[in-house]
Copies of this chain bind each other. A is one copy, B any other.
Amino acid sequence: MVYQQTFQHQTLGRGTANITRRAEEILEKSGIKTGMLNIFVHHTSASLILCENADPSVRADLEYFMEKITPDGDPGYRHRDEGPDDMSAHVRTVLTNSSLTIPFNNHQLLLGTWQGIYLWEHRTHPHSRKITVTVYGE
């Protein structure tokens, strides 16, 4: 069995949003008991991560890390059509994930206690991001 649903998420500019509940709702609607859930983001300047879900400073520190290794406006970047955050957003996307696959059982995602699914917007301005969740199993 395969169940698929696409939704939009409005971001607030650079930063992370916990979308675990959205994925769980789609899993519940699918009625599928055991298998894999895939989340896919249809963009090249926003990405997905599984990250610690308790202390918000973890996500702040991830921003600090990315700014250290791929700062906005790096003079070595030639692709800057949409501003100083354009190329660094592509790099941050390539270093993380466009697609995450997570197992489930008894209609429940098998996430660890501290694992949350986060959409990571890498552009400084807000964007509407398209996400597809595909559930497959039996």
Q: Point out residues on A near B: beta carbons under 8 Å.
A: 1-2, 4, 6, 34-36, 38, 40, 42-44, 49-52, 55, 57-58, 60-62, 64-65, 68-70, 76-79, 81, 87, 90-91, 93-103, 105, 110-112, 114-115, 130, 132, 134, 136-138
Dominant SS among interface residues on chain A: mixed
5 more contacts with CB within 8 A, not counting A44-B115, A57-B78, are: A40-B102, A61-B87, A64-B76, A98-B100, A101-B101
Q: What CA separation (Å) do A98 and B111 show in the bound complex?
A: 10
* B residues near A77, Cβ cutoff 8 Å: 61, 64
The one of B34, B51, B91 in contact with A90, judged by C-beta atoms closer than 8 angstroms, is B51
